[in-house]
């Protein structure tokens, strides 16, 4: 087999060595419960407080505005259900047709069990939400707007600051799912102009099972989990001390490395340009200009996306057809359908999400292997 290249960082990332090293003491000697009033517990509580301060600094908020969760899904659920049920000014929620399932299913829960009306905004062919569509959807009874920062399937980055400003003018709280963008883009309540923001550790080089919600302190937040009153009563349950420490380390490292994204952007563009030039009929999904720096996603009409993935893995490339959360589904991606792509073409989608240390030589090699794989599957006369 050729050299193995892992190009599925949108699904998950390996735990960074620096992250693991900062976590290790809290998995071994300093294993205390941060709610315990003894030496071990106090050391754990201090570690949580220090990590909370680090994450708050990175996300542009106060430490008291950080709520630790089990991951991005819980953070999205807490934001949407918690803000809406904490202080509903009406029974209307606005989101989009291209949100992650955690957002869409949370909104649907409010519709089914609490009688809310949910408006899903359309997107254009690049996956972008037209600001005028949001402006037209806002009503006096709108309680929350939730629009993702960047899409995990197509890489499109939304103009969140502009969209959030429209909601602010109408007095409506705005939440963004920044799970897919927090590693590569500047995110935070002030940077994006939002009221709540979700992140997940395993997209940043921290372990699975830890995430956070940054939410402005002025917003009432109804908890989803009830119990001992941890996290200022907003999320009961013993804190994952090692995970919290790891998340803080990973987020700080990501911020330090963001100025170096020019290399991964160059690799991404090499892949995009090479594939489009050499595979007849292939087209990019999502916006070319407003795109995550490490994200290249295509449809290959005349092939099977799953067959292309198998061929690529046989050639040493690990990638995906889209959201890992929807893996195993036989249905075409709702995100791709929302872009106006035909169902049979949507099922030919393949996504490459690059690690930060990808090299130009590897990017060129990816193009060669993609061309070979698509040719083998589709019998296409590649260039």
d(CA 124, CA 130): 7
**For residue 379, what pLDDT is reported?**
62
Domain final residue pick, 257, 288, 305: 257
Contact 220, 87 (CB under 8 A): yes
Tens-place pLDDT, residues 42-81: 999 999 999 999 999 999 999 999 999 999 999 999 999 9
**For residue 158, what pLDDT is reported?**
98
My answer on whether 233 and 215 are in the same domain is yes
How many domains does the chain fold into? 2
Residue 285 CA, chain-centre distance (Å), reads 17
* pTM of the predicted structure, to 2 decimals: 0.95
d(CA 26, CA 31): 5
Please choose, from the candidates 287, 265, 262, 272, the residue with its C-alpha nearest in 3D space to the C-alpha of residue 370: 272
My answer on whether 136 and 207 are in the same domain is yes
My answer on whether 196 and 272 are in the same domain is no
330: containing domain = 261-378
My answer on whether 294 and 241 are in the same domain is no
User: Active-site residue 325, yes or no?
Assistant: yes
Whether 1 is covered by a domain: the verdict is no
Where b means 16+ CB within 10 Å and e means fewer, 268-281 reads bebbbebbbebbee
Mean pLDDT, the chain, whole residue set: 94
My answer on whether 37 and 153 are in the same domain is yes
**For residue 3, what pLDDT is reported?**
74
**For residue 37, what pLDDT is reported?**
93
Domain final residue pick, 257, 290, 322: 257
**For residue 321, what pLDDT is reported?**
87
Domain final residue pick, 257, 281, 303: 257
CATH classification at residue 24 = 3.40.640.10
Whether 138 is covered by a domain: the verdict is yes
**For residue 89, what pLDDT is reported?**
87
My answer on whether 276 and 323 are in the same domain is yes
Chunked into runs of 10 residues, the chain (383 residues) has average pLDDT values of: 85 98 97 95 97 98 98 98 93 97 98 97 98 98 98 98 98 98 96 98 98 96 97 97 98 93 94 96 97 97 93 95 59 94 96 94 94 83 56
Specify burial of residue 81 (Cβ count, 10 A radius: 0-12, 13-18, 19+).
buried
My answer on whether 76 and 160 are in the same domain is yes
Whether 23 is covered by a domain: the verdict is yes
d(CA 164, CA 157): 14
User: Would you tell me how many other CB atoms lie within 10 Å of the CB of residue 86?
Assistant: 16
My answer on whether 82 and 98 are in the same domain is yes
């Amino acid at each position: 087999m050729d050299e193995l290249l892992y190009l599925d960082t949108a699904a998950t990332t390996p735990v960074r060595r620096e992250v693991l090293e900062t976590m290790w003491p809290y998995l071994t000697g300093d294993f205390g419960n941060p709610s315990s009033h003894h030496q071990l517990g106090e050391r754990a509580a201090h570690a949580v407080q220090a990590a909370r301060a680090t994450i708050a600094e990175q996300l542009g908020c106060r430490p008291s505005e950080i709520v630790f969760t089990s991951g991005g899904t819980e953070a999205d659920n807490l934001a949407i259900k918690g803000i809406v049920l904490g202080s509903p000014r009406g029974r209307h929620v606005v989101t989009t047709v291209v949100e992650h399932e955690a957002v869409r299913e949370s909104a649907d829960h409010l519709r089914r069990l609490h009688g809310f009306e949910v408006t899903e905004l359309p997107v254009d062919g690049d996956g972008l939400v037209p600001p005028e569509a949001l402006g037209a959807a806002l009503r006096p009874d709108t309680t929350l707007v939730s629009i993702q920062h960047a899409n995990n399937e197509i890489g499109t980055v939304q103009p969140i600051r502009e969209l959030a400003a429209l909601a602010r003018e109408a007095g409506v709280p705005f939440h963004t799912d920044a799970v897919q963008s927090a590693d590569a883009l500047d995110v935070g309540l002030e940077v994006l102009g939002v009221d709540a923001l979700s992140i997940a550790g395993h997209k940043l080089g921290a372990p699975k099972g830890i995430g956070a919600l940054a939410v402005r302190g002025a917003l009432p937040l109804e908890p989803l989990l009830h119990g001992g009153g941890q996290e200022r009563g907003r999320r009961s349950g013993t804190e994952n001390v090692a995970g919290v420490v790891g998340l803080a380390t990973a987020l700080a490292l990501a911020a330090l490395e963001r100025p170096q994204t020019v290399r991964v952007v160059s690799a991404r563009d090499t892949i995009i340009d090479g594939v489009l030039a050499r595979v007849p009929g292939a087209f990019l999904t999502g916006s070319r200009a407003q795109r995550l720096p490490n994200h290249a996603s295509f449809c290959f009409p005349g092939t099977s996306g799953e067959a292309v993935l198998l061929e690529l893995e046989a050639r040493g490339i690990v990638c995906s057809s889209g959201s890992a959360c929807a893996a195993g589904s036989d249905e075409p991606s709702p995100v791709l359908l929302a872009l106006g792509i035909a169902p049979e073409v949507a099922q030919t989608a393949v996504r490459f999400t690059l690690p930060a240390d990808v090299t130009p030589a590897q990017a060129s090699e990816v193009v060669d292997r993609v061309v070979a794989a698509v040719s083998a599957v589709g019998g296409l006369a590649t260039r």
